[in-house]
Every structure is written in structure tokens, then in C-alpha cells.
Amino acid sequence: MRSTNCLAVGVSLLLLFSAVGAARPVIPFFPEELEPKASLICNGTVISVEETGIKKNFSYPNISPSVNVEKVMLAKIKVLHVFKGQAPAEIEFRYRVSTQVAIDGADHIELEKGKRYRFFLKPDDVRGGYVGVLEGNFDDNNAVEELWPHEPDDDPWLTKDEAIKIALDYLKSIKVETNFDLNHTACYPETTGPATWTIGFFHSPGTPSNSTWITVRGNRTVDENQSKFGSN
């Protein structure tokens, strides 16, 4: 989808679907949208991940099947840097994982021991510690984003406006004409791997036109191997 010509009228649809091309609608959240929901935003390293033994049915309206069996995981996080709120040197973070594999299953948080992530959190009023700010949503994975290797421990999140500017600067650096209609720019976060944004610039909204798809990484660099320039 990234390297082919697209109708600019389809930009709004791109914002509702995950980058992996899932058939069901997925609404991606940018960090700047999560920030006001969070009481704690921090970068941290996963010290450990274990099952809590809690397994329960979670009900989601307008999702088939409406009831999903999921288990609760407990991660211990070494806090590296706090952007919002206050936190001790180590925090407990609970999140859910699916117990079955489904094509249109939930996009839940995935953590690995030893990796660094950026967390958008709120208090777990029932069990103590923290949960993601999207806890209770069918798709909650945007509440946590993995840091890229060599990113500083105190590196802040990348906003949509910053990502678009980085993409434009990249196009200028390779001397690609950038006379695009910025009112019809598509920009959405990827749903897998370290923090990444896919940005599409369209020449002419409402008609078939050249499109440029740029991949911007959370460490504020462009992944040239994934960036594409489409032509008629």
C-alpha cells in the first residue's frame, strides 16, 4: 500500500486502519493524544515479566467475538526518565495479553525483558502500580512504544507535527519536489516494533496522483530502506 498510487480521498481511511492491513478498523493514538490522559509518562527498562495467574473474560462492544479470554501480566520496570508525574526508581506495570491467536484479534501491549520502552500510564486503582492509559480498550498497545537502539534514555516522544517536518526535510534533502497539499497528509503510527510513523503526501486530493510515503522512526531519523516515492 505504501508504494502504490492512492486516491487522496482515502487518506481518512488510512488513519483508521493499522499499518499491518487488518480488516477491522483500528484507531491509532499519537503520543500527544495520550499525554493528557496519563498521570505518569516515563522511559524505562523491563526488568522482568511474569504471569499473575489472573485470567478473565473481557467484554468489548461491537467486537466479534464480544467476549475475549485474556490473561494479566506483571512487569517490573526500572524507570530511566520521567516526563510527567512522579515515580520511584522501580514501578510495577500490569497489562493484558490475548490467550488465542486471531486474524482480527486485539492489538495488545507486548514487552520483552531487557528492552526499553516509553510508557503512558495511569494508576491501577484495584491492584496498585500502573496500567496503560488505554486499559480497557480492545487495542491498547499505543500506550507503550519501544525505544530505538542508541536513543538516549531521556529521549522524549515524537509528535505528529515533528514527524511530518522530518519527512519534508528528508524529501528536500533528496531533491524530491514537495509541492504537496499538507491539508491532506496522512500520518499514522505503526502498530509493531519500535516507535515508527508512516507519512503519505498527496499532490492532489480527490484525484489519482503521485504519492510519497516516508517512514520516520522515533529516534527522529528516516528509514531509507522503507521510504518509497511513487510515480504514475
Q: Are residues 176 and 135 in the same domain?
A: no
Q: Are residues 68 and 122 in the same domain?
A: yes
Q: Which of 96, 117, 146 is the last residue of a domain?
A: 146
Cα angle 149, 152, 156 (rounded to 5 degrees) comes to 110
- pLDDT value at 166 more than 90: yes
Measured distance between the N- and C-terminal CA atoms of the chain, rounded to whole angstroms: 14
The C-alpha cell at 209 is 496522483
Q: How far apart are CA 149 and CA 151, in angstroms?
A: 5
pLDDT of res. 64: 61
Task: Decide: pTM greater than 0.85.
Answer: no
Containing structural domain, residue 86: 31-146
Q: How far apart are CA 12 and CA 62, in angstroms?
A: 21
Q: Are residues 69 and 19 in the same domain?
A: no
Q: How far apart are CA 50 and CA 165, in angstroms?
A: 40
Does residue 1 lie in a domain region? no
pLDDT band, very low/low/confident/very high, at 20 (cuts 50, 70, 90): very low
pLDDT of res. 107: 84
Q: Which residues contact 10 (CB under 8 A, 6 or more apart)?
A: none
Backbone angles phi, psi at 37, to 5 degrees: -80, -20
DSSP H or E stretch at residue 172: helix 160-173
- pLDDT value at 137 more than 50: yes
Does residue 152 lie in a domain region? no
Domain count, the chain: 2
Collapsed DSSP state (helix, strand, coil) of residue 144: strand
Does residue 218 lie in a domain region? yes
Q: Are residues 75 and 166 in the same domain?
A: no
Q: Are residues 11 and 49 in the same domain?
A: no
The C-alpha cell at 58 is 473481557
Q: Are residues 135 and 41 in the same domain?
A: yes
pLDDT of res. 206: 55
Does residue 109 lie in a domain region? yes
Does residue 151 lie in a domain region? no
pLDDT of res. 210: 66
